[in-house]
Amino acid sequence: MNLAAFSSDVAASVARLRLLARALGYFRADAGRVGLAMGLLLASIGINLLKPWPLAILVDSVLGTKPYPSWLPSQMPEWTQPGQLIAIIAASLALHLAHSAVCAGHVYLSISVGLRGLRRVRDEVFGRLQRLSLRYHHGTEAGDVIFRAGTDTAAFQILFQQGLLIVVSATGTLLFMAVMMAQLNLYLTAVALVAVPVLLVSLKVFGGAMRSRAMIAQRAEGKVYSLIHQGIIALPLVQSHARESHEQRRFTAHTEQARQQKMAQQGLEVFFWCAISVVLAACTLGVTWVGAQQVLAAKLTLGELLVFLAYVAQLFEPLHQLSQVGATLSSASASTRRVFEILDTPEEVKNRPDARPVHQGRDADGPAGLPTSADDMFAPAGAPAMRPGQPLEIYGNIAYDDVSFDYDPSRPALRHVSFKLLAGTSAAIIGPSGAGKTTLLNLLPRFFDPATGAVLLEGVDLRDLRLEDLRAQIGLVLQNPIILPATVAENIAYGKPHATMAEIEAAAHYANASAFIEKLPQQYRTVVGDGGARLSVGEKQRINLARAFLKDAPILLMDEPTSALDVESEAQVVASLFALMRGRTTLMVAHRLTTIRRVDKILVVENGRLTEMGTPDDLIAEAGYYARVVSGQLDPKS
């Protein structure tokens, strides 16, 4: 025997058991309900064992000459035969009704527990996806993630209802019926149980292949979901280039591949079930043959043979269930493994144990107590250190200290970037496409953390601050505004959900959005479509700006907020932008000179490095990248 192969099999089996135990752990909170479901299950097994006996008594004692069992009322033999027949039928009916009621309670309770566990899994997966960094989401296919979170999570409910409960039910039924059958006729019991070792060997032979094929089929199905998601997102591009037929062919190729993988999985499972069905049928015929011989030899009554055959039929049902559980567990295990891949993905950006709370340091009249130069932004040397957990007041003094970052180690996105930005001032980040401008912006709200160096706020490393508090102090205006399928008011108040309607309307007024909102059918209560389908790009951007006005954060980040606008919309949005920037520390990625010229400082980023920094006038005098942009020698979009 190959010891290494045996050890590998044992290790794989242990790993699978741990995976199943972890998956079933999501139902631990419903231990009481699970216990009640198990009690009802055992009760149903017990009642099921009694169901064939009225028929045996009818055949042997009412219609035959065998004495009644001693546990029946002693007066029963004195009843008339029709009375005896009615009593037997009534008892049989009562057993069937009781069994149906107990089974219904068990099934209902099992479904309830299964759905509660499924909700916990989905809640945890969604929460983890919300906390994972943008690096993770940029490196995965959205459709596959949706498939894992929506479809693969259903495997946890399947593991509980069609896995754990079926195993307990089938195993309990097998044990109890084997005992009852052995008391009736030990020889016939041995004939019936020949199927058990055959089943175990079949599970061993087919189990690994079914798990492997299930995993491959799930991946192929996830790819189909990804293509559906991509097709919806890219629909304007596809239609504008008349590429519908091409995309249809590409999608058909992947659905065909998914079909083939699923058929490979299902085909193996069908073959497995057919083989098991043949074995069980052979055992049933064997029991019938041997039992008939014993009845002819007067070693067994006809009623006892009927009871035994009823038990055999019910015995083979749990055996068949156990054979199906193998395929079910193989498929469900593949899905749970894909879900755990999400849950086990480490959070790159998270709070430190001693992270400090953050409070806004502005009063009602605007910035207060601000330093007058970048050199005065931080605590002087020798000043007493802040206690861990001590709240930090935020004014908006920002510093990037020798920051480097990379998505791929072979291609750094940022290299040794350092600059300071005084509270209440504005800076525009410009540079060629792909230079690292948006990445530089994304480090401030900690969508990513730098690989080396640090981003500082009021002289404190962002990683030492509570993440939720930090992000509460930052307003974000994106190039492509995110509009939710909710009312206009709910979209504006997303960052401040308890805002009053007066506050929402005031924010819309400051963003130059109130005019078009009041023309909508239900004004602020109008539900906009998914992604703001009913709104123009300019209208969506003004709602985005209203959201930032309402949040009233001391720090403002903007990523090319006017690049997708026409001239008329841009004029309205730019006016709102500079109103929003007033009194806030603003860092924006921009390419339009009308916006760039009005900031306090310009940062030029090229190939991940900060190559120029200064006021617009200073950079024109340096005759560098910015000067070439202003003179028209370079297109800032390129």
pLDDT at position 543 over 50: yes
Domain assignment of residue 546, yes or no: yes
Torsion sign over Cα 292, 294, 296, 299: negative
18: which residues sit within 8 A by CB, 6+ positions away? none
pLDDT at position 482 over 80: no
Find tokens 């190939």 and name the residue. 607
What is the Cα Rg of the chain in Å?
36
Domain assignment of residue 241, yes or no: yes
316 and 440 housed in the same domain: no
437: which residues sit within 8 A by CB, 6+ positions away? 429, 430, 431, 589, 605
Q: Which residue has the higher pLDDT, 89 or 383?
A: 89
Q: Which residue has the higher pLDDT, 75 or 248?
A: 248
- Read off the amino acid at residue 34: V
Per cent of the chain over pLDDT 90 is 0
312 and 189 housed in the same domain: yes
Task: Give the residue from 324, 343, 362 where a domain finishes.
Answer: 343
Q: Do 569 and 536 meet the contact criterion of CB atoms below 8 Å apart?
A: yes
111 and 226 housed in the same domain: yes
Q: What pLDDT is attached to residue 384? A: 46
State the chain's mean pLDDT as an integer.
77
Q: What pLDDT is attached to residue 382? A: 41
Domain assignment of residue 410, yes or no: no
CA 329, CA 53: separation in Å to the nearest integer?
35
Domain assignment of residue 479, yes or no: yes
CA 396, CA 526: separation in Å to the nearest integer?
35
Q: What pLDDT is attached to residue 486? A: 80
Task: Give the residue from 312, 343, 374 where a domain finishes.
Answer: 343
pLDDT at position 364 over 50: no
430 and 319 housed in the same domain: no
Question: Where residue 124 sits, what CATH number does that domain have?
Answer: 1.20.1560.10
pLDDT interval class at 507 (50, 70, 90)? confident
Among 118, 128, 123, 22, smallest CA distance to 343 is for: 128
Among 17, 332, 325, smallest CA distance to 171 is for: 325
Q: What pLDDT is attached to residue 405? A: 87
166 and 59 housed in the same domain: yes
Domain assignment of residue 475, yes or no: yes
137 and 236 housed in the same domain: yes
Per cent of the chain over pLDDT 70 is 80
pLDDT tens digits along 152-208: 888 888 888 888 888 888 888 878 877 877 777 778 778 777 777 777 777 667 766
Task: Give the residue from 343, 377, 406 where a domain finishes.
Answer: 343
Q: What pLDDT is attached to residue 442? A: 86
434 and 300 housed in the same domain: no
206 and 329 housed in the same domain: yes
Question: Where residue 511 sits, what CATH number does that domain have?
Answer: 3.40.50.300
Q: What pLDDT is attached to residue 276? A: 74
Domain assignment of residue 492, yes or no: yes
CA 479 to chain centroid: 27
Q: 3-class DSSP state for residue 531?
A: coil
pLDDT tens digits along 385-441: 456 667 888 888 888 988 888 877 777 788 888 888 888 888 888 888 778 888 888
Q: Which residue has the higher pLDDT, 378 or 407?
A: 407
Beta-strand relationship, 411-421 and 609-614? unpaired
289 and 429 housed in the same domain: no
Domain assignment of residue 349, yes or no: no
Q: Which residue has the higher pLDDT, 327 or 434?
A: 434
152 and 291 housed in the same domain: yes
pLDDT interval class at 449 (50, 70, 90)? confident
pLDDT at position 107 over 70: yes
pLDDT at position 366 over 50: no
* Domain count within the chain: 2
112 and 248 housed in the same domain: yes
Domain assignment of residue 30, yes or no: yes
Q: Which residue has the higher pLDDT, 520 or 595?
A: 520
What is the residue range of 100's domain?
Answer: 21-343
pLDDT at position 215 over 80: no
CA 314, CA 172: separation in Å to the nearest integer?
12
Q: 3-class DSSP state for residue 46?
A: helix
pLDDT at position 638 over 60: no
CA 600, CA 589: separation in Å to the nearest integer?
14
What backbone torsions phi and psi does residue 494 show, to the nearest 5 degrees?
Answer: -60, -40
330 and 181 housed in the same domain: yes
